Chains A and B, each alone.
Chain A
Amino acid sequence: EDKVVQSPLSLVVHEGDTVTLNCSYEVTNFRSLLWYKQEKKAPTFLFMLTSSGIEKKSGRLSSILDKKELFSILNITATQTGDSAIYLCAVGGSQGNLIFGKGTKLSVKP
């Protein structure tokens, strides 16, 4: 059975801290891994990773995929209160559907 496991499920940090969110997966015919940020409404796209060892960066956020060990990490440096959200990891298999993890709820305190 395909599955995606995120850890931790929740995390509280202070502004300026650096955080690392984890995502491990077991998916038949892996094609891609995606990270989303979800605040009040729909998930918004952050990164899509398909190749192992290549870091994707966007400002203070970065992510990398390890296809051998079947995991990905999402790093956020110099966190801000606006980073408070649920971060979702999803994996796409050959069937075309996305399988989501339960998410990590990040709270950034002033």
Chain B
Amino acid sequence: NAGVTQTPKFQVLKTGQSMTLQCAQDMNHNSMYWYRQDPGMGLRLIYYSASEGTTDKGEVPNGYNVSRLNKREFSLRLESAAPSQTSVYFCASTPTRGRSGYGYTFGSGTRLTVV
């Protein structure tokens, strides 16, 4: 099925460990996003990529890095995980960043726990 695929679905890390969350879309979308969702906080933007080859910081970028590997894939890396990064992470994509909200598609999420 067409859409946004995230891996893994669940992960437990120890403080200080590193990991990469993977995201891929097969809808030929130009723009991709990483959000985190904490209880009672809605979704907050971590990083986004308006198009292949570009990335920009969102509202809460500290402690994260991203790579737009190609048009399909946008990964999120935690270099040294901290308990404050325990959250649910969502990847999303849109056809183009300029038309706000149009065609926004979310992945199913990654539940990350840092102990």
Which residues from chain A sit less than 8 Å from chain B, CB to CB? Answer: 4, 6, 9, 31-34, 41-43, 45, 48, 88, 90, 92-103
Out of B41, B42, B43, B108, name the residue touching A41 (CB < 8 Å): B108
Q: Is the CB of B42 within 8 A of A97?
A: no
Q: Is the CB of A42 within 8 A of B104?
A: no
Q: Is the CB of A96 within 8 A of B94?
A: yes
What DSSP secondary structure best describes chain B's contact surface?
A: loop
Q: Which of B15-23, B44-52, B64-72, B76-84 sits within the interface?
A: B44-52
Given A4-B42, A42-B106; 8 other pairs, CB 8 A cutoff: A31-B101, A42-B107, A42-B108, A96-B50, A96-B97, A97-B58, A98-B100, A98-B101
Interface string of B31-68 (1 = CB under 8 A from A): 10101000011111100101000000010000000000
A64 → chain B, closest Cβ, in Å?
16
**Smallest CB-CB separation from A2: which chain B residue?**
B59
Out of B31, B35, B100, name the residue touching A32 (CB < 8 Å): B100
Complex Cα–Cα for A93 and B98 (A): 9
Interface string of B81-115 (1 = CB under 8 A from A): 00000000010001011111110101111000000
Which residues from chain B sit less than 8 Å from chain A, CB to CB? Answer: 31, 33, 35, 40-45, 48, 50, 58, 90, 94, 96-102, 104, 106-109
Can you report 5 A-B residue pairs in the complex whose CB atoms are below 8 A from each other?
A: A42-B108, A96-B96, A97-B58, A102-B40, A103-B40
With contacts A34-B104, A92-B100, A94-B100 taken as known, whether A101 is within 8 angstroms of B42 at the C-beta atoms is: yes
**Smallest CB-CB separation from A96: which chain B residue?**
B97
B43 proximity list for chain A (CB < 8 A) = 43, 88, 90, 98, 100
